[in-house]
Amino acid sequence: MHDARDPRRILRRTGPDNGWLLSIATDPVDRSWYAGDHEGNVSCHSDSSGADEPRWSAQLRRTKIIGLALHPDRRHLAALGSDGIIDIIDVRTGRPLCSLGPVSGEPVDIRIDDRGETLSVHTREGEVRSWGTPPTGREIILRPEP
């Protein structure tokens, strides 16, 4: 991982309990970063602390965390598991607030739009599932043409 303050400097995050890093999301304001691994763990790291220990770590599920998306409000993080379930996490505490899904097919990516109004999951089969944030909260499914 490269240090945001000096791209020539590489930060090594190692320890006896490190897993495979499969997904990452960053907070552009305070430079915190969030990591998802192959064992279903999500952790929050503070760039400013200089410590290798995460601020928090949460075991969400028994599947891989294949995608992370930070909401523009910087208070919520969406974590996509390889089982197609999305957990919404409180960024301050690491506590899961709710779950969405499962998404059918093989999920490959998760995104939250710049205004924070739509959360979308893309699948390998070309399907896109989107959820609107309140007040609508409706699920929309877009499928590729046959």
Q: What domain count does the chain have?
A: 1
Determine the Cα–Cα distance for residues 81 and 37; give it in Å rounded to an integer: 10
**What per-residue confidence (pLDDT) applies to 66?**
93
**What per-residue confidence (pLDDT) applies to 16?**
45
pLDDT of 2 strictly over 80: no
pLDDT of 144 strictly over 70: no
Determine the Cα–Cα distance for residues 125 and 43; give it in Å rounded to an integer: 29
pLDDT digits (tens, 9 = 90+) for 67-126: 999 999 999 999 999 999 999 999 999 999 989 889 889 999 999 999 888 999 999 999
Full domain range(s) for residue 64:
21-105
Name residue 63's amino acid: T
Q: Which CATH number belongs to the domain containing residue 73 in this structure?
A: 2.40.10.480
Percent of the chain with pLDDT over 70: 73
Instruction: Decide if 89 is inside a domain.
Output: yes
CA triple 57-59-64, angle to 5 deg: 110
Instruction: Decide if 131 is inside a domain.
Output: no
Percent of the chain with pLDDT over 90: 40
Instruction: Decide if 55 is inside a domain.
Output: yes
Report the DSSP beta bridge partners of residue 56.
44
Instruction: Decide if 112 is inside a domain.
Output: no
pLDDT digits (tens, 9 = 90+) for 14-33: 444 555 678 889 898 988 88
Instruction: Decide if 118 is inside a domain.
Output: no
Mean pLDDT of the chain: 81
**What per-residue confidence (pLDDT) applies to 70?**
95
Instruction: Decide if 13 is inside a domain.
Output: no
Q: How many C-beta atoms lie closer than 10 Å to residue 100's C-beta?
A: 18
Confidence of residue 143 (pLDDT cuts 50, 70, 90): low
Instruction: With beta carbons less than 8 A apart as the criterion, state whether 32 and 45 touch.
Output: yes
Instruction: Decide if 77 is inside a domain.
Output: yes
